[in-house]
Amino acid sequence: MSPSEAGAKEAPRYTKKDFESDQDVRWCPGCGDYAILSAVQKTMPDLGIPKEDIVFISGIGCSSRFPYYMNTYGFHTIHGRAPAIATGLRVARPDLKIFVVTGDGDGLSIGGNHMLHVLRRNVNLVILLFNNRIYGLTKGQYSPTSELGKVTKSTPVGSADRPVNPLAFALGCGATFVARTVDRNIPHMDEMLKRAVAHKGTAFLEILQNCNVYNDLAWNVIYDRESKVQHELRLEHAKPLVFGPPDDRRAVIMQGVTPKVVRAKDVPESSLWVHDEKNVNAAKLIADLFAPDFPIPVGVLTAVDAPVYEDLMLEQEQKAISERGPGDIRKLLTSGDTWKIS
């Protein structure tokens, strides 16, 4: 089936309910995953994609239970391997819309290698990485995104590993779409999901998510009403990097090659840093911004066009078939050096 055939079907009319499966949701009460599930189910009807053409693939971890709760096709696989499974599926079935649901442990620790390669290949799929900075399903060990010195069951006097920044990692891998949203901001999550789905290539969406049992309020800096006003930087294409309360707007500007926070009114408009989603290098600098010294960027850091893995692969296949016809095993078997014995 060619990629275009998927679009040939008539866009059906769905409601959120059509995407709710009959399975009991088994996350802890109060988990941020509920909000994400609800947002995804709510966004789905707006995508105009037939339900049967949607596949959710996950690895292992709390987030990876996600496919069971979506009334689409789903595959809950093994720890860290969802990007590889999804790559194989996409190569076999470029007509499907594939979502990978993963977490900071699944996607950046045990599955870090696959994450690297799916991003550099630019396979056409959406990756939702729920980042709660902790291992939940195994009951509370630190994760690769936990802050240095994190005290957990496995690190009673503090962790010794420095954390990885998912956005910087994705950009370093050559990701063509990198964005961040927050589980407590449903409208923004909805907007980011739609942007990610519309992207051609691998769309990497980090969702800051709360684990209220093992790492409650890890993202409080952006949950707390007052702190959020102070720190949230909404990225919008062609808009300057300006944030903070209305009476105290601040801006991120470039001083040499280093970002710096200044009072917005202190700098001329011409020296503001205007966000450009097509500028991957700028996105790499934005990815590293974080509280308390900098704002916390949310939104699309970058969205650029690049060749898509399975498109190139299928073009090679189509070219071979159109030039020399489909494969014929009988001809192949008798090709080259043969001899007859009578």
CA angle 244, 245, 247 (to 5 degrees): 120
For position 61 contacting another protein by CB under 8 A, the verdict is no
For position 312 contacting another protein by CB under 8 A, the verdict is no
For position 8 contacting another protein by CB under 8 A, the verdict is no
Pick one of 20, 53, 190, 311: the residue that binds another protein (CB under 8 A).
Answer: 53
Pick one of 3, 50, 140, 174: the residue that binds another protein (CB under 8 A).
Answer: 50
Of 57 and 192, which has the nearer Cβ to another protein? Answer: 57
* Residue 247 near residue 170 (C-beta atoms within 8 A): no
Cα torsion 267, 270, 272, 276 to 10°: value is: 180
* Residue 166 near residue 241 (C-beta atoms within 8 A): no
Question: Interhelix angle for 82-92 vs 112-121, to 10°?
Answer: 30
Pick one of 103, 114, 129, 275: the residue that binds another protein (CB under 8 A).
Answer: 114
Burial environment of residue 317 by CB neighbours within 10 A (0 to 12, 13 to 18, 19 or more):
exposed
Pick one of 78, 168, 213, 304: the residue that binds another protein (CB under 8 A).
Answer: 78
For position 196 contacting another protein by CB under 8 A, the verdict is no
Range in contact with another protein (rule: CB under 8 A) among 161-169, 181-189, 273-281, 331-339: 331-339
3-class state of residue 317 by DSSP = helix
Q: Of the candidates 298, 323, 188, which has an alpha carbon nearest to the alpha carbon of residue 243? A: 298
3-class state of residue 141 by DSSP = strand
For position 338 contacting another protein by CB under 8 A, the verdict is yes
CA angle 293, 36, 177 (to 5 degrees): 60
Pick one of 7, 15, 30, 52: the residue that binds another protein (CB under 8 A).
Answer: 52
For position 313 contacting another protein by CB under 8 A, the verdict is yes
Question: Which of positions 131-160 make contact with another protein (CB under 8 A)?
Answer: none
- Transcribe 227-296 into DSSP letters: HHHHHEEEE-TTSB-EES-GGG-EEEEEETTEEEEEEGGGS-GGGS-B--TT-HHHHHHHHT--TTTS-E
Of 34 and 75, which has the nearer Cβ to another protein? Answer: 75
For position 4 contacting another protein by CB under 8 A, the verdict is no
Of 266 and 328, which has the nearer Cβ to another protein? Answer: 328
Pick one of 86, 197, 207, 264: the residue that binds another protein (CB under 8 A).
Answer: 86
Of 157 and 329, which has the nearer Cβ to another protein? Answer: 329
CA distance 125 to 100: 7
Pick one of 75, 184, 191, 304: the residue that binds another protein (CB under 8 A).
Answer: 75
CA distance 286 to 295: 10
For position 320 contacting another protein by CB under 8 A, the verdict is yes
Q: Around Cβ 154, how many Cβ atoms within 10 Å?
A: 12
Pick one of 16, 42, 51, 200: the residue that binds another protein (CB under 8 A).
Answer: 51
CA distance 323 to 204: 37
For position 202 contacting another protein by CB under 8 A, the verdict is no
Return residues touching another protein (CB under 8 A): 1, 21, 23, 50-53, 55, 57, 60, 67-68, 70-78, 81, 84-93, 95-96, 113-114, 116-117, 313-314, 316-317, 320-321, 324-330, 332-334, 336-342
